[in-house]
Structure 1
Amino acid sequence: MEFFNKIGGDKAIWAIVALLALFSFLPVYSASSNLVYVVGNGTGTTLSFLFKHGLLLALGFGIIYGVHKIPTHFFKGLSLIAMPIVLLLLAYTLAQGTTIGGANASRWIRLPLVGFTFQTSNLAAVVLMAYVARYLTKIKDKAITFKESILPLWIPVFLVLILILPANFSTAAIIFFMVMVLCFLGGYPVKYLLGIIGSGILVLTLFILVAKAAPDLFPNRVNTWQNRIENFANDEDSDADYQIEKAKIAIATGGVIGKGAGKSIQKNFLPQSSSDFIFAIIVEEYGLVGGLILVFFYLLLLFRIVVVANGNNTIFGKLLVVGVGLPIVFQAFINMAVAVELFPVTGQTLPLISSGGTSTWMTCLAIGIILSASNKETSEESSGAEIDDTNPLEVLSGQL
């Protein structure tokens, strides 16, 4: 009971996150049999994958607890300090030139000592949202010109996106969309946003043309995007539709109440059954009822995020919660939409449910920030602090 008394922030969000994490053990353990007996040819055990998933979640909840104790205004200075570090990490990740199946897959770096791989774009997304929220807070109620915002706002946004785009179009697209939403909510002039959207389309077009003209720069990546879109639009069966077809079979055979925990058949055929397509396995095992309950929890999380944002007493807190919170729910629904073929294959995991990556930690980092903004102690502390957010050292030391 003493531990629960030390937990601050929105209790509903704590409960939702805990329930999603606890539930994830069942489908992850079930789907891990594919990784052991099909992908791994019998090497390893399902328990080892379950232990790894549990370790990632335990460390993730440690991140949530630690971050939610940080006063909300500290994230202004932290975003300034973290932005150049993130840019260096993204550049290093892209420069590795990793390929999988001939396609550019420069998304991960391996953490020394612990042996985990780390997807730097997930960290970049959280840091960038905090950075943009800080800038929008700074210009609130000020007349701003596009020229004045190029260097402090759009150059960092452009650099992050251009470093993520070659290896991960879907993540870059989600980040770009969320930046546009955040800027719109933050009162940035709409006419400038329309110009940025037009510029983004132009840059993407130029990137595709360059990648087509010089395929060695970004091996097969544009072809992968093209094939996924064509397969999505094409109703005819093909080898490229294999994952989607198996996912739809899993969903169709799940029925209303499902086959029962651990009784999925399609997990043995879906290559990404424990990550990208775990929603299909959940519906196969727990049916339409299980799928709708999962949707309900993500919608409930969205509702609580909106409540926290609306209840925060600072402009920065409101924008920060929206910036780091909405992508979690947005990513969840993209993952579900892919499984039911409402969206082309993107490679986005199901937050707090899917296994196999430190993206769980970044989701927990975002949740910790949201809880910090909902924490009465940290939000009151930040609202009463008159600190110059242009000086990150002052922001970090202002409460010491």
Structure 2
Amino acid sequence: MANKRKRWKLRSYLLSFDMNLIVAVIFLIVFGLIMIYSASYYTASMGQAFNYDPTYLLKSQAKYSVLGVAAMLVVANIDYHKWRYFAMLGLVGSVILILLLKVPGLGVTVKGATRWLQIPGLGQFQVAEPVKVAMIVFSAAFICKYAQRLGDWKVLFKVMAPTALVAVMILKISNNMSTAVIVFGISFLMVFMVHPKYYPFFIMGLFAAAVAAGVIYYTLHMPEGDSDSPFRIARILAWLKPYEYESDTAYQSLQGIYAIGSGGLMGKGLGNSIQKLRIPEPYNDMIFSIICEELGIFGAGLVILLFIYLLFRLYVIAQTAEDLFGRLLAIGVFSHVALQAVLNLMVVTRLFPTTGVTLPFFSYGGTATVFLLIELGMVLNVEKWGRFKREQEYREQHLQ
């Protein structure tokens, strides 16, 4: 009898949230864990760093996924209005976290980029992930403050300036352009969604396109050695002329394309990828190519449909939020997931130069998973409050 009561309480507790969103998230997490194991078991079984354990990365990702789900459910029960009081603290905290990367002994440099903090006794984590959460909360609160005056160009730039500053710090200190673009892109889309006019963003889009065209032209006509960012220029050249760089810079992306092309309609079967033996760290940025090779167009389409459904739920919650702050929080999380998923798929399919953007829920990374699930917890609370308000209004109308 006691067990039945516990099960009933658990069921009632879960049903108080948007089960459509929760189910989509669980599907993505489980699918991601399966693919991380499939993509990593050979590398892990052959690597001393993984204790020659084929399930090493699976167990690590599963541990963080469970922690993330628990954090999501905790955050889902915190009134999202309270996060507004911590908005400025989030901005200051983000700046401090980025500056800590410069402290000897705390900043961890891997492959020439300092993106991780080493916390004694706790291990290391990627600074960009908590910064993304903090900047979503800050941007939502800051935009709310100036929502009525966004039509003024000065106010528009004032609203976007703090996020631009954080993005520049990420770029200069951690040498992480992809994260800088995503952090700024999240704020940009949040402003776009609530701005009364479209023409400022059309002008910005034209300017960005002109800059991109200029960079490509400069890259193609640049004198040899005339660059202060040779690795970024090399990535663009490898994207434009892949077969001239197939042995070094374009090696990973070309192997990914070979994996996608060899998968066919139904793929070679789970675990049967050949290209994961050639792609460096196939369980990270390029995991979508392994999905295509092992599960074919069918598996790739299923992944894309899951992301579309998740984004659809986030969009619906944003539209039905109780207030502007809740709407902006949902839009921020929507923008984060959309930007990372779209950029990753574009990189893997060679529609965009290599950037190092991971695929949410699928690419290996405990910090990214935990903080993304925390973001989704905030959205669950936004939905819960919005539904409560609609039910209250319905009762009031029918009692009159």
Structure 1 length-normalised TM: 0.82
CA distance in 2, matches of 1:379, 1:122: 31
Deviation at 1:44, TM superposition (A): 2.7
- Is 1:333 the counterpart of 2:339 in the alignment? no
1:264-300 superposed Cα distances (whole Å, 9 cap, x missing partner): 1111111120110111111111111000011000001
Deviation at 1:51, TM superposition (A): 1.0
Distance 1:377 1:311, change over 3 A: closer
Equivalent residue letter for 1:280: S
Q: Is the 8 A contact 1:71 1:372 kept in 2?
A: yes
Q: Which moved more, 1:75-84 or 1:288-297?
A: 75-84
Q: What does 1:122-137 align with in structure 2 at a 5 Å threshold?
A: 122-137=129-144
Which residue pairs with 2:97 in the alignment? 89
Q: Is the 8 A contact 1:274 1:355 kept in 2?
A: yes
Q: Is the 8 A contact 1:87 1:160 kept in 2?
A: yes
Q: Is the 8 A contact 1:247 1:339 kept in 2?
A: yes
Q: Is the 8 A contact 1:68 1:370 kept in 2?
A: yes
CA distance in 2, matches of 1:377, 1:181: 22
- Is 1:269 the counterpart of 2:269 in the alignment? no
CA distance in 2, matches of 1:192, 1:377: 31
Deviation at 1:58, TM superposition (A): 0.6
1:140-183 superposed Cα distances (whole Å, 9 cap, x missing partner): 334775556666x3442232111111311111112222222211
Please state which structure has a larger fraction of its residues in helix: 2
- Is 1:355 the counterpart of 2:364 in the alignment? yes
CA distance in 2, matches of 1:332, 1:187: 24
Equivalent residue letter for 1:373: V
2:164 aligned to which of 158, 174, 183:
158
- Is 1:171 the counterpart of 2:179 in the alignment? yes
Distance 1:142 1:334, change over 3 A: closer
Distance 1:293 1:221, change over 3 A: farther
CA distance in 2, matches of 1:143, 1:48: 49
CA distance in 2, matches of 1:126, 1:352: 16
CA distance in 1, matches of 2:324, 2:37: 42
Deviation at 1:33, TM superposition (A): 2.6
CA distance in 2, matches of 1:39, 1:241: 24
Q: Is the 8 A contact 1:10 1:371 kept in 2?
A: yes
Q: Is the 8 A contact 2:41 2:55 kept in 1?
A: no
Give 3-state SS (helix, strand or coil) of 1:109's partner: strand
Q: Which moved more, 1:47-56 or 1:90-99?
A: 90-99
Structure 2 length-normalised TM: 0.82
CA distance in 2, matches of 1:70, 1:362: 16
Q: What does 1:173-212 align with in structure 2 at a 5 Å threshold?
A: 173-187=181-195
Which residue pairs with 1:345 in the alignment? 354
Q: Over aligned residue pairs, what C-alpha RMSD do you find?
A: 3.2
Larger RCO (alpha carbons 8 Å, 6+ apart): 1
Distance 1:40 1:281, change over 3 A: farther
Which residue pairs with 2:240 in the alignment? 233
Which residue pairs with 2:128 in the alignment? 121
Deviation at 1:357, TM superposition (A): 3.7
1:18 aligned to which of 20, 26, 35:
26
Equivalent residue letter for 1:354: S
CA distance in 1, matches of 2:76, 2:235: 39
Structure 2: gaps of 5 or more residues:
1-6, 219-224, 394-400
Distance 1:360 1:185, change over 3 A: same
CA distance in 1, matches of 2:348, 2:157: 39
Equivalent residue letter for 2:357: Q
Q: Which moved more, 1:127-136 or 1:41-50?
A: 41-50
Which residue pairs with 2:385 in the alignment? 376
Q: Which moved more, 1:335-344 or 1:185-194?
A: 185-194
- Is 1:302 the counterpart of 2:308 in the alignment? no
Deviation at 1:308, TM superposition (A): 0.5
Deviation at 1:22, TM superposition (A): 0.9
Which residue pairs with 1:57 in the alignment? 65
Give 3-state SS (helix, strand or coil) of 1:175's partner: helix
Distance 1:352 1:188, change over 3 A: same
Identity of aligned residues (%): 27
Equivalent residue letter for 2:181: A
Deviation at 1:100, TM superposition (A): 3.7
Deviation at 1:139, TM superposition (A): 2.1
Deviation at 1:331, TM superposition (A): 0.8
Equivalent residue letter for 1:328: V
Q: Is the 8 A contact 1:26 1:262 kept in 2?
A: no
Give 3-state SS (helix, strand or coil) of 2:243's partner: coil
CA distance in 2, matches of 1:64, 1:344: 33
Q: Is the 8 A contact 1:248 1:339 kept in 2?
A: yes
2:328 aligned to which of 319, 325, 334:
319
Equivalent residue letter for 2:266: I
- Is 1:278 the counterpart of 2:278 in the alignment? no
Q: Which moved more, 1:75-84 or 1:49-58?
A: 75-84
Q: Which moved more, 1:156-165 or 1:183-192?
A: 183-192
CA distance in 1, matches of 2:202, 2:163: 15
Equivalenced residues, count: 367
CA distance in 1, matches of 2:228, 2:81: 39
Which residue pairs with 2:221 in the alignment? none
Deviation at 1:330, TM superposition (A): 2.2
Deviation at 1:13, TM superposition (A): 0.8
